[in-house]
Structure 1
Amino acid sequence: MSTSDSRSVTPSPVQPAPAAEVTLASKRLGELSESARESADLLTADRLLDPHHVTKPEPEGGWSHFLYTVSGRRINIGDSRRARERKALTARIGAPLTGGARFIPVLSRKGGVGKTTITALLGMALADAREDRVIAVDANPDRGTLADRVVRPQHGKSVRDLVRIRDEVRGYHDISAIVARDATRLDVLASDADPHVAEAFSDTDYRDVAAVAAHYYSLVLTDTGTGIVHSVMSATLDLADQLVIVSGLSVDEARLASETLTWLETNGYTEQARNAIVVLNQSTPGSPLVRLNELQAHFATRVRSVVRVPYDPQIAGGGSIVFANLQPETRTAARELAALLVEGLRAKAA
């Protein structure tokens, strides 16, 4: 019987393969390709912050805020729909405008349709939501009432005073001594209190006022006189970046507003007319006699946007308008008008 030679063999330990040598080399800034470089504006909060560690702001809205409060601030379902809509509208109004000052005349062919009221509401809505300065200039050749509708100035200064010191203005403090300011931060430059002096406010005077205002304001609203051919209108239209045309809710007032568009189109202001905003202003209570849908449909064929402003008892009283005390529907209409205005100005600049 043969026996095999059995030997105990101890396996040799496996030697690990030598690790590949890694060279850590930092590239100099000059060696990076242009496409690989990142600018500082790419370091956004959305990119860098972990959403699980970001505290959501306190929600707005009745039920949302109630749930947030009773849960000890643990349950935050976000803003209510109404709050989200309000914030979105504020963002539209507050969108940045590049470049110089923008001029917005508010026009009507007939008195009593609310031109001054709309100027005040538009200015308040803009000033309340924007970070830059907004001014409303009363350029009525006759005695205007814009300052009375916004805030009655205590110093009695007017456009005539700004014309007088135009070459001496060195900063905003010189302007602030002449304008009045309301709670929304809207500045108002009043017309002359003396109607005989106001008649002398001319095309040249308006251009002087506009030149000064352009240095200190982003948006310059102009409450024009009634009509379309008075002494200041030529300068007002030449400087206009956006027109706002006010119509009352009667057949003759609507026709005059539509005829204003025709006059503009036939006198060299076709682009301004077609990009205008028409405001259908209800200045009396109750249901209007005209069919609002038909009226809105007519102007929608002629201009960029149409806005309805409802009747508001505070406005109808004739005193100073307090923006915070207006009916919610009135404030929303004014803010929608302001948003459409800003969007039109941004589209024009694009």
Structure 2
Amino acid sequence: MRPSPRPPGKSDDRSPPHPEPRPAGHPSDESLGPVPEWLRQPAPDVQPGRADRWRIALGRHSGRLLGGGVAVLLLACSGVVATVGYQGYQRWRAAPVAYPTISPPSGEQAVTSASPPPATGPFDGTPAAGFPEGAAGIALPPAKRTGPFTARQVTDALAKVRKAVVTARLDRAFFTAKDPERLVRQFAPDARADVRDDFPSGEAGSYATRLAPGARLTADPPRVRGRLSYRATKDRDGIRILAVTANFVWAYAFPTASTTPGDGVVVVHDTVVWSVPHPGDVRPGSVGLWIEKSDSYASNIDCAAWDKGLLALGRPSFGGPADPDPDAVFDPDKTLDLPDTC
């Protein structure tokens, strides 16, 4: 659903907008000659090492273009395919793979700068050990007058986005709540129906964390790294909007009996473009927070749960030749277009 433009000359018109339709035989030993004795011996059993037990089950969600009124659904395929050891993945490759980085969007931006806590606990041995805890990893850029938006309007928009992001990705009560209203009510009234529909369809997984039934987190706060940026632009209907791009990696700790670093860590990397329309361009019900588009992937997950927009720890497994670089999933500057192993 798009924000509803304000009818000319009707600044107090509060009639509800009309949503647009939603898109929906071997040779013998004799012929080979004598066989050396060492070839007749059985191969020794080799137990998987520490590096082999770091696995990543990779899935991808892509959320609806709420601002454009177009439903975009790029759900991951089902089935868990695990990957190789954290240090040992290169032995499966003919050559290393370098994943492309993301070009930061234009406009004012702020990058995570808070110091990480002491490295103890489930994140040890992974890049997330160097991430700040929780909301400390979400830094706001300085609010400046931008296009038609005043510094105060920019400040208010950034505050709305930060609050929504914290609820969507860090609020434990929201993760397990029966309904998603803690987040839904933070959107513009005209956007809320579509946001509610995102949860049963699984699309909300591209911008919000909901735990699968029976899944639980440890007491360790999630680790966060990424950036927020904003710019003034217009949507396809010519409505002036402040677009706020949130690009973050979220690392969650799940209970596990394994002592291998990272075995209990689920990583979600999302890029979400939030928007706030200029109040002079829309009717009152459309004033507030919207989502223009969202995309995400997750690693070390239960793929069946992820297809439903839910988060749970994947099952232990071992590696194979199609595995991604384990470090790439922790890097907010890497592309979201990583090999899909779900």
Give the TM interval when normalised to the shorter protein: under 0.3
What is the TM-score normalised by the length of structure 1? 0.23
Structure whose CA Rg is larger: 1
More strand by share: 2
Q: Which has the higher helix share?
A: 1
TM-score, normalization: structure 2? 0.23
